A and B are shown apart, each in its own frame.
Chain A
C-alpha cells in the first residue's frame, strides 16, 4: 500500500501541467463570483470607515447592518453560485475524463492527452455521472430523510439526547463512507470503460465487481487521501486563525497560500485516480 501511495504521489505531482489546466478553469469560474463580492462590498459600504473593521476580524455588526440595507444585492450572487456550480459539474465530467485518461497512460500524460481524453469520453462519462448522481441523491435521502423524520421523536423518546446525537453522528459517518464508496466505484467504472471500451451498463457492472474485489485496498487508499485533505484544511484554518488576512501583505500571502492549497487538492485528485488505476491494474 505504501508503494501505491508513493507512486500515486509521484505521478500526480509530475502531471502538474494538467493540474494547471484544471486549476485555471476552476479559478476563472470562481473569480467571477469573487469579483462580484468585491464590487458589491465596494459599492455598498466601501466608502464607510466601518469596512476597515473587516480587515482585522470578522465583524458581525458590520456584516449584519450591510445585509439589512444591501441584502438585495447579495441575492443575485446566490443565484450566480447555483448556476456556477451547475456549469462546473458539467466541466467536471470533462475534466474527470481528461484526468482519468491520463491515469491510464501516466507516462505519456501531456496537456494534449488531457483534452483528448476529455473530448473522447465526455458523453459516456456524462451518462455514468448521471447514474452516480442519482445514486448519491438516493443515498442522501436514505440517510437524511429518516434523520429529519425521526430525530425529534427520538429526542422525545429517549431519556437523554446522547443516543440520538451519536446515532446521527454515526449516520453522518456512514453517509460519508457511502459517498466515498460511490466515488471509488464511479472511478473504477470509468477506468474500465477507457480500458475495455465497454458500454456504460457494462462498465458500471464490471466497475462494481472490480471495486468489490479490491475494496480493502481501494478504501484504505482513498480514505488516506481524504484524511490528507481534511488535515490540510485544519492546517490552513489554524494558520489563518493565528495570523489572519489583516494587512494587504497578509492578504496577498494568504491568497497565494489558498491557491496553492486549491492547486494541491487538484493534484490530490490526480493522485487518487492514478492510485486507483494502479490498484485495479489498469
Chain B
C-alpha cells in the first residue's frame, strides 16, 4: 500500500504542478493554408505597473518574390501615439470622439527596437531608421526601415531577432490600457507586405499610420509567449498551447496561430469567460461582468453568423474565435477585428430591442473572412473589406432578426440594418464628394464611413437584387475561394465579378450590372430617377369618314367611346445612367412594364387608348438601393390621403400631450 502510494505520488504529483497543455493547437492545419511569408515568435512580459512590455522577437521572413529583398520595412504602430506631431495625431484633438490632449507623460505610447540582428551574426541595429514614405512628416515614426547586410534572395528564409520595448498608452485608438484592462493590438514590430505595386514593381507595401487607415500584413505563423500577473484573464488570437505558473505571481501563456495576418491579445482581471462550441469552432467570450446578461445575445448572433457565412461564403477554417467585450471605460478598444479575435462593445442594460450588440459582433466576425482570410489592403482599398463586411452584416442581421426591424424596434419606431446602411450613404451632404476606391488617407472623417462602408455595401446589395441572391452567393464564393489567404486588389475582385456575371446570364445585362458596380466604386456620380408628371388628355371619339378609297369609306359619327392620350414623364436627376424598369398602372388595374435606358435626361412615354394612366413607378421592386431618393420614383394620380391623416392625428395627439405635460410646470 505504502509503495503503491509512493509510486502514485512519484508518477502523478509532478503532473499536478506541470503546465497545462492544450492539444490540437500546434499545429492547427496539416498543410499550410497560405504562403506564410512572415512568421513571428514573440516572448513578451507585461509590467502592469508601468504599462510597458519588454520582448524578444524572432521574425522568419521568406522572400516569396522573384527579386532580392535588401531591406525590411516594419510597422511601428504604437509610435503613432507618441506625440501630437505624428501623422496619426497631427491636426486633431480627438480620436473617435475621445479627447487625448493634456495627458501626463506616462499616458502616451511608443515602441522602441533596441536591437535587431540577423541570424548568422550581423547586427543590423545601426541601419535602422524611421522613414515617412507617404507624407514626409519627420515626426512620424510609424514605419521602421532596416537595411540588410545582404539581400534575402528569392525563396530564401531569413531570420531576424529583435529586442524591443513598448509603452502602452492610455487608450487612444483601440490600443492601450484603461485602468487594468489592456488591448494589445498592432503592438509589435510587424513587417509590411513585399509585393508588386500597380506598376508591376516589387517593393514593400508599408504605409504610415493614418487616422483613416487600418492595417495590412502578410500571412504567417505566430507563437506568442506572454508573461504577466496571474490575476489577468487573457484572450488572444489563435489557441492556447500551454499555460505555465511561474510561481512568483506570474504565468506564461503560449498562444499559437497559423495562417493569420496579425496577432492581438487582451487582458483584464475581471473578465468572465463563456465558452461554447459551434460545430468544430471553439467560441470563447471574455465579457466584462456588468455585461454578463448580454452574453447570450453575443453568442447567439455569432453562431448564426458562423452558420450563415458557411452557407453563403465558405467554411471558417480556424479552430476558434475569441470575442472580447471590454468594460465601458475601455470601450475605445472595442469594435475592431483581428485574426481570430474580435472586440465588441455594449452597455449595461442594453435593451433587447436595440440590437447594436448583435450587429457589432456580426460585423467584426465577418471581418474574419474579409480582411482576415481575403486579406486585401485595408489602407489602400478599404472598401474591399469594410464594404463586404457591412453587406454581409446587413444580410445576417436582417435574416435573423427580421427585415424592417432588425436593428431597432421600440414603440413602433423600426429600422433594419440594410436601411441604416443605405441611409448612411444617401444622406451624405455631398454624395459626389469623391470616389470610393481611394487610399484611406484621402478620405475625411465625414465621408469615410459613408462611402467605404455604406456605399459599397449598398452597391453589393443592388447587385444582389438585380441578379438574385443565389447568383450573388456564387460570385462571392468564387471570389472567396480564389483569394482566401492571399492579397487581392480591387481589380482582382472586379475580374471575378465580371467573369461570374458573364457566366450567369444574358451578357448585355451582366455587363450593365458590372458597369453599375464599376461606376459606384471608381466614380463619383449620383443615381436618382424620378417620375415627374402624368397627364391624361381626353381625345374625342372618332368622327368623320375613314377608309383608304371611296368604296371602303365608312362614316363614324363620334358616338363611340372617347379615348385618352396619356403621358408619363420620367427624369434622370442624377448623373449616373443605368437602365431601369417602369411599371405603369392603368385605371382598370392593368399594368405595363417599360424599360428605359436612362441615357436621356428626360423622357416621355405616351399611351393612346381607352384607359387612363393612374400611376407610374420606376424600379417597382426597389432593387436599386443606390437611388438617393426613393420617394420620387413613383407618382400617382390617386394619392392616398390616409397616411397624411394618420400622421396629422399623431401630431395632434402628441402635441396635446406635450401641452398637458408642460402645463404642469406652470
Contacts and interface: CB of A to CB of B under 8 A. Distances in A.
Q: Do A and B bind each other?
A: yes
Given A57-B404, A85-B662, A133-B666, A51 B640 contact: yes
Interface in B317-347: 327-329, 347
Contacts of B643: 41, 51-52, 54-55
A50 B631 contact: yes
A262 B660 contact: yes
By CB atoms of chain B within 10 A, which of A47, A55, A96 has the most?
A: A47
A48 B645 contact: no
Interface string B642-666: 1111111111110111111011111
Interface stretch (B1-9, B212-220, B419-427, B604-612): B419-427
A48 B412 contact: no
Nearest to B617: A49
Contact of A129 (B179, B349, B629, B666): B666
Contacts of A47: 635-637, 639
B655 A81 contact: yes
A20 interface: no
Interface size on A, as a range, is: 35 or more
A167 interface: no
B615 interface: yes
Contacts of A26: 656, 659-660
A143 interface: no
A160 B646 CA distance: 44
B47 interface: no
Contacts of A258: 649, 652-653
Given A49-B617, A85-B659, A33 B651 contact: yes
B423 A64 contact: yes
A55 B646 contact: yes
A213 B650 CA distance: 42
Contact of A262 (B636, B642, B657): B657
Contact of A93 (B615, B662, B664, B666): B666
A46 B639 contact: yes
B99 to A, nearest CB: 10
B656 to A, nearest CB: 5
Nearest to A263: B656
Contacts of A96: 663, 666
Given A51-B643, A162-B290, A92 B649 contact: no
Nearest to A66: B631
Contacts of B646: 54-55, 245, 251
Contacts of A132: 665-666
Contact of A68 (B289, B629, B642, B649): B629
B426 A65 contact: yes
B634 interface: yes
Interface size on B, as a range, is: 35 or more
A201 interface: no
Contacts of A88: 659, 662-663
Contact of A45 (B348, B349, B631): B631
A116 B652 CA distance: 29
A21 to B, nearest CB: 14
Contacts of B632: 48, 69
A160 B644 contact: no
Interface string B610-644: 00000101000000000011111111110111111
B178 to A, nearest CB: 8
Nearest to A61: B419
Given A66-B631, A165-B348, A55 B642 contact: yes
Contacts of A173: none
Given A30-B659, A88-B662, A92-B666, A69 B412 contact: no
B496 interface: no
Nearest to A89: B666
A255 B652 CA distance: 9
A50 B634 contact: yes
A48 B411 contact: no
Contact of A31 (B327, B636, B652): B652
Interface string B405-441: 0000001111100011011001100000000000000
Counting from the closest, the 4 A-B pairs by CB-CB distance are A34-B652, A38-B648, A160-B290, A49-B634
7 contacts: A30-B659, A38-B644, A41-B647, A59-B414, A62-B630, A160-B290, A165-B348
Given A29-B655, A30-B653, A183-B665, 20 more contacts: A34-B648, A34-B655, A37-B648, A41-B647, A55-B640, A55-B643, A59-B414, A61-B423, A64-B419, A65-B628, A68-B629, A69-B629, A69-B631, A89-B662, A159-B179, A160-B288, A241-B412, A258-B649, A259-B653, A265-B657
